[in-house]
Chains A and B, each alone.
Chain A
Amino acid sequence: MTDILGLSAAQAAAAIEKGDLGAEELFVFYRERARADADANGGGLNCFTWVAEGISDTPLESGPGWSDGDGTAGAGPLAGVPLGVKDLFCTKGVPSQSGSRILEGYRPPYTASAVTALTGAGATLVGKTNQDEFAMGSSTENSAYGPTLNPWDRGRVPGGSSGGSAAAVAAGLAPWALGTDTGGSIRQPAALCGIVGLKPTYGSVSRFGMIAFASSLDQAGPLTRDVTDAALMLRHMVGRDHCDATSLQFPHEIELPSAERLDGIRLGIPEELTGEGIEGGVLDAFKASLARAQELGAQVQNVRLPHAPHALSAYYILAPAEASSNLARFDGVRYGMRAPDATDLLDMYTRTRHDGFGSEVKRRIMLGAYALSSGYYDAYYGRAQRVRTKIAEDFRAAFAEVDLIVTPTSPTVAFRLGEKTQDPWSMYLNDFCTVPMSLAGIPAISIPCGLSEGLPVGLQIAGPAFSENRLLDAAHALERALGFDGSEARA
């Protein structure tokens, strides 16, 4: 009898290939776990906004005219391993609501390219996962469909915005899941849930069919139990897509990581992201990980990222500015909900948006509209774009001295539900260590590196654009040495 829950996604795919496990058996196993959680009516983690009936619910085509495959569900190297997909990925005929009331019941007529890339390679869709509304948040408390709970402590948040994906993987309700990261929305929930999360180089995965938040920052990536699974998923996601003009051909194949040592690897520690504001227990776990890295042969040295402390301010201009523009499309005309009994067209727009958007989304739309408005544009948006240039220059200079940069992923462990909802800036500070990499467009991975107060701590490793293979190798070596055990959350 195979211990299905104990298998990573890569191990499950291998077991199916060998004939030790049936794809249908694996799908039903996870569907039943996901369904039990979804049906628990407040007694579960609320990871899913929709759970599949069968493998036949898996979308394989993008849409009419974009069809890129007529394959069979479950056929391919991913061998039918079920995938949780963040709600904001459009999936044909399947609810795709981006955690928002304004898209309640929306079933898109096409599927996101990142999803068809994975289903085309054999992954099956087990469910859509909960998220902060339009990916705006760091706790999944901003979902119109209720908060997701952290499987390590149900009184705490799973992080966000990909909190449903992270909690589902940590709790063993999905073997792996797809998320998106704009300022930390894959890495931070991965850290808070004790799993692996990778934000790839901007442009390496198509954004086509992702319900947009901030287009110059949004990037899809894997949330997985281990680094090998992250590499396996990423391998089948990257590539140029003619439906996304910002996507590009990844310069080489993503390899499955094999490194066990870090000999000759120079790790840079930026003092700006590893001092003030980082919780003591998080810093202890971070320092212990650095000691492990040195035992594996890495050279650890200090680097400077002088503009990194300003990244959060720049981000909270740029991301809301892009959001205020992207979210203009939700007007009650073509899809989603419409407020009833409007007196005229403008009244219909404003009341639909009043009823359909949650308070954080309204806050960001207001902030973005303000930052872009005549007379303030240069002081806010223009300056933020210049800060972004300085941050990218800081990273380039640092990578002339070191191979990779290491920081804690999140300044704290998982916090209590409701603890930060009254003070937006305290919530935004969750992204302090992850936003600089987002602004620079470079890849970064979070791996679990220990516990503080019984809760997982994430270690972030960042590298230059397209250094994913090096990043995954280093993460793999450290993961082996650290030996983090996440099985408690799956119990």
Chain B
Amino acid sequence: MARLARLELSVEEIEPMARELSAVLDHIAKIGELDLAGVPPTSHVVELTGALRADEPRPSLPREVALAQAPAVDQDGFLVPSPQA
């Protein structure tokens, strides 16, 4: 699961994490007791229509501004380690 979530957990983090998550899951599992047959899932809490804005071009962040906060930059892009070292 940690791999799926792109999280590294240290050896000393694993045991408490497993214990705490199990305890939380025990509480959460109580919704399994409810009869929810035929109940539609909530996708949004308030009614919205016409939520899309007009499809008009507008300026976006200048490239140098978008790159300014990056940990590493190479020319016009974000610099990252190679996918397969």
Contact = CB atoms under 8 A, between A and B. Distances in A.
Interface string A96-122: 000000000011111000000000000
Interface stretch (A46-54, A161-169, A224-232, A325-333): A325-333
A387 B36 CA distance: 7
A65 B58 contact: yes
A396 to B, nearest CB: 12
Interface stretch (A25-33, A255-263, A272-280, A310-318): A310-318
Contact of B5 (A202, A369, A440): A369
Contact of B24 (A107, A316, A390): A316
Contact of A245 (B29, B53, B58): B53
A309 B68 CA distance: 47
B41 A354 contact: no
Contact of A354 (B8, B23, B78, B82): B8
DSSP class of B's interface residues: helix, strand, loop or mixed? loop
A333 B70 contact: yes
Nearest to A332: B71
A333 B78 contact: yes
Nearest to B60: A65
Given A386-B39, A388-B41, A350 B31 contact: no
Interface string B32-73: 101010011111111010011100001111100110111110
Interface stretch (A174-182, A283-291, A356-364, A468-476): A356-364
Q: Which of A109, A313, A347, A428 has the most CB of B within 10 A?
A: A313
A389 B72 contact: no
B10 interface: yes
A373 interface: yes
Contacts of B29: 313
Contact of A367 (B9, B21, B40): B21
A2 interface: no
Contact of B72 (A64, A313, A338, A388): A338
Given A203-B48, A392-B45, A369 B4 contact: yes
B74 interface: no
Contacts of A7: none
A356 to B, nearest CB: 10
A366 B17 contact: yes
Contact of A65 (B5, B45, B51, B59): B59
A248 B30 contact: no
A1 interface: no
Given A313-B31, A385-B41, A387-B36, A441 B46 contact: yes
Interface string A197-233: 0000111000000000000100000000000000000
Contacts of B61: 63-64, 109-110
B16 to A, nearest CB: 8
Contacts, number: 180
Interface stretch (A81-89, A297-305, A375-383, A482-490): A375-383
Interface residues of A, number: 76
A354 B7 contact: yes
Contacts of A336: 69, 71
Contacts of B28: 313, 316-317, 380
A437 to B, nearest CB: 11
A345 interface: yes
A409 interface: no
A344 to B, nearest CB: 4
Given A313-B28, A317-B28, A336-B71, A345 B20 contact: no
Contact of A348 (B46, B60, B81): B81
B84 interface: yes
Given A346-B83, A362-B9, A107 B36 contact: no
Given A65-B60, A439-B45, 10 more contacts: A109-B66, A202-B46, A203-B45, A312-B27, A334-B69, A344-B81, A363-B24, A366-B2, A384-B31, A465-B45
Interface of B: 1-10, 13, 17, 20-21, 23-25, 27-32, 34, 36, 39-46, 48, 51-53, 58-62, 65-66, 68-72, 78, 80-85
